[in-house]
Structures are given as C-alpha cells and as structure tokens.
Structure 1
Amino acid sequence: MDGVSVSEQVVRVAADRVTLEGNLSMPPDARGLVLFAHGSGSSRHSPRNRYVAGRLNEASLATFLVDLLTAEEERIDQVTAELRFDIGLLADRLIGVTDWLGASPNTSLLPLGYFGASTGAGAALVAAAERPDQAAAVVSRGGRPDLAALALPQVRAPTLLVVGGADTQVIALNRSALSALHCEKELAIVPGATHLFEEPGALDEVADLASRWFSRHLSSERSTS
C-alpha cells in the first residue's frame, strides 16, 4: 500500500454451529469494512479476491475474506460440488459472521459492505436482505445473484453487479436479477472479460468499480449514522 501498513490477522468466528476462518485486513483510519463471500470452490486464498481486497485496502477500506465452509466441508464439496450451491447454508454462515463483526470492538463501528463472487454473490444478497440495518452496499463479481431468488426484492443496500462481457449466460442471469432488485442498482459489463476476469486489465476494472462503489456508499453510510 505505497508505504502504508495494513494489519492482517487470521480470525476464527463461531457461526451457524461451526468455526470459520478468515483473514481480516485493517488499514489505518479504515472508513468501512468489506466482507468477502466466496463461491464455486474458491476460498479466502483466491488470488483474484485477494487482489481486489488489496485494492480496497488502498482505498482505506478494511476487508474480511472468510471461508464459509469448514475444511472438511471443502473436501466434500470438491467431490460433490453441492455445498457451494447451498445458498441457504452459505447465507446463514455469512449472517453469523456479519453479527460477529457487528459485535466486535475492532469492527462494530465500520459501515459494512458485501463482495460476493460466483455463488457467494447469491449468499451476500440473501444476507443483505436479512440484515438491512447492517449491510450498506453489495458488489457482485461474476456472480449468481439469481440464486438469491425471493430475497432480491427485500435488498435495500445499493447493489453493483459486475459481469464479464464474454460471460453471456451469466450476463442474462444478472439482468434478470437486476430487474428483481428494488434498491439503488447498477449492472457493469467489463468488455471482453470471461467469467474469471483473467484477461489483461479485467480484474483491475473490477477492483476500480468495487472501490468506487464501496467508497461512495460506505462513506455516506458513516456520515449519516
């Protein structure tokens, strides 16, 4: 962070009858906190989400990258690929983490945003609907917001859906979800990008979009709280 020190620590959180592990990064004078929800076999060690998190830290936003499945559940999911689509389970875990952050002295005063990737975006939107007084903003990267289904009309947090321009099936799913949202909302399409945003400059565009969205909405949340 250009000479600015970011404190990172591994944190264990009791949520939904299990203990989850996450990496909490706190820049000096953090003005908000972004909770990452991974999906589709990813984890808190995902280089893509860690890169975006680092960019958010540069914008004075704290980040918490948490694994919503235990190590044993991850091993099961690698074989069955079922748990990553269990949006109810993932959302319950995310809500548990949200409540823990809201009670922790280090994070309770920071406005909270969700960054959801793939199926984690569906869980993030369900959590935002369930915790409207805590969720101040949502960003989805190549996400499946359609998996939030009936929760979408209940979301109050400003929501940005980011999709790759070459990810045509997911674009259609995001447009459908966008029409079901009744909050402030936007669909951003990154030209030429595929589902994982591996093309040169694509992930930078995601990070820029997310940083601007969270900086605007988390800062305004704190100024009115």
Structure 2
Amino acid sequence: MSSVKGRTESVILPSCGAKGLLAFPAVPPRGVVVFAHGSGSSRLSPRNAFVADSLGRAGFATMLFDLLTDDEAAVRANVFDIALLAGRLDQAADLARHTSDMSTLPLGFFGASTGAAAALVAAAARHDVTAIVSRGGRPDLAADALPQVTAATLLIVGGNDPDVLALNQAAAAQLRCEHRLEVIAGATHLFEEPGKLESVVALARSWFLKHLVTHVGT
C-alpha cells in the first residue's frame, strides 16, 4: 500500500507469527521507531497509530507490532511477562533492521504501559538503541535493567495519573542515562483529554529528532 505519506508493509515475526505494520515516510527515513504496546492494546491502537503517523511525517519509519499472538494475549500472565515482551520487541527490532535496507538507520523504541518496561529491558541488552519514549509507562517493571539503559529516555506521564507518576519518578531515579520526566498537566493515563495526546506527539517527535542519531561505533 502506498500514499503521499509513504508506504506500509505487513510483517510477521517468524518465531511466533505475531503481526506488525512497518510504515515508511515519503522521504528517505532518518531512523526507525519500533512501538511496544501496553496491556489490552495492539498494533491497531488508535493512540499509538496517531503518534506513529506524526513520526512518519517527521521522516521516521515506524513499526507497530503485536508482541503477543491472540492466544498468548488471552493469558493474563503473559501481558505482564516483561522478559517475554522484551524478547519479542528485540526480535521485532531485528526484523525492522533487516527490512528494506534499514540496517544502518538509528533505532528507537516507543513504549506504552507495560510496553515501556519491555522497551527499557530490550534496550538495556542492545547497543544500537539511541532513544526511548515512554507514554504512561510502567518503567518500574524493568527493575534491575534500568541502570543498564544507555539510550536517552523520555518518560511522559499524565498529571492526573498519580500512581503511575510516582512509579515513573522512582524509576527515573534509577536511570543512569540521559533522561527526562515530562508531566502533562490535566492528562489521565490514556491522554484522552482534548489536546493531551497532541502534547505527547510533540514531545516524542522532538525527543527522537534530537536523540535518534547514528550510534557511535556503528
């Protein structure tokens, strides 16, 4: 499928058959951002699709991926199995790397809810992730991986999401990489209030434009 915005390819993770959508901008991509969805969400999440579309207009390729198959997602424990989710995200990143000659592009992760923890764990084990954005994430679930993360990390939390805000504040204190915690006033966990998701988009786009650059040594 193609349009003035670029083209989109359907991809499948060979190890489990999980499905994804890889979108290319209309111009040569400046980098690739792989999305890690949270519990109860999927590659078709309208919120993440909205963010991905904005990143595409900024010149980034994006991959929206289901980290679990439908059968796996039906088992509640899998949704909170961060090691499993991080492993799938790692495989998805490798798949993106080997699709359409994107092996040399800088790589970033965008994670929401439990997907943010998976993004941090996966990034801690890789040397090619240069930027991470977490939207309403649970970085606390990344536990011991937090001090090992080297990618510049942006934590975005709604001001009216006090429990998750407290968890992000505690997690930020464990990060040793460049990082920032942004609190969007008046936003709840899903950023459903008017204009709040647009604020997420603006912050994410700026963060990736600044930090999604070719990693030293690659």
Tell me if TM exceeds 0.5.
yes
Selected match of 1:84 from 79, 85, 102: 79
Tell me, in whole angstroms, the C-alpha distance in 2 between the residues paired with 1:138 and 1:222: 14
For the pair 1:183 / 2:181, whether they are aligned, the reply is no
- The aligned amino acid for 2:13 is V
The superposition leaves residues 43-76 of structure 1 with CA deviations (integer Å, 9 ceiling, x where unpaired) of 00000000000010010011000000012212x2
Question: In structure 2, the residue corresponding to 1:176 is in which secondary structure?
Answer: helix
Q: Which residue of 2 aligns with 1:97?
A: 92
Q: Which runs of 4+ in 1 moved over 6 A?
A: none
Q: How does 1:12-91 map to 2 (within 5 A)?
A: 12-14=12-14, 17-27=15-25, 28-74=27-73, 76-77=74-75, 81-91=76-86
In structure 1, how many angstroms separate the alpha carbons of the residues matched to 2:209 and 2:120? Answer: 19
User: Match for 1:221 among 202, 214, 217?
Assistant: 214
Q: TM-score, normalised by structure 2?
A: 0.94
Question: Where in structure 2 are the equivalents of 1:90-129 lying within 5 Å?
Answer: 90-129=85-124
Aligned to 1:148: 142
Offset of residue 148 of structure 1: 0.3
Q: Conserved in 2, the CA contact under 8 Å of 1:92 and 1:127? A: yes
- TM-fit CA distance, 1:224: 8.0
Gaps of 5+ in 2: none
**Deviation, structure 1 residue 143:** 0.3
TM score, norm. by length of structure 1? 0.91
Equivalent of 1:196, from 190, 201, 206? 190
- What is the alpha-carbon distance in structure 2 between the residues aligned to residue 147 and residue 112 of structure 1? 22
Q: Give the total of aligned pairs.
A: 215
Letter in 1 for 2:171: A
Name the CA distance, whole Å, in 2 between partners of 1:33 and 1:5. 15
Shift of 1:33: 0.5
> 1-side partners of 2:21 and 2:98: how far apart?
17
Shift of 1:106: 3.0
Residues 1:64 and 1:200: Cα distance change in structure 2 (over 3 Å): same
Where 1:171 maps in the other structure, the secondary structure is helix
Q: Is contact 2:108-2:208 (8 Å) kept?
A: yes
Q: In structure 2, what residue type is equivalent to 1:121?
A: A
Q: Which runs of 5+ in 1 are unaligned?
A: none
Tell me by how many angstroms 1:20 deviates.
1.7
CA contact (8 A) 2:128 2:215 kept: no
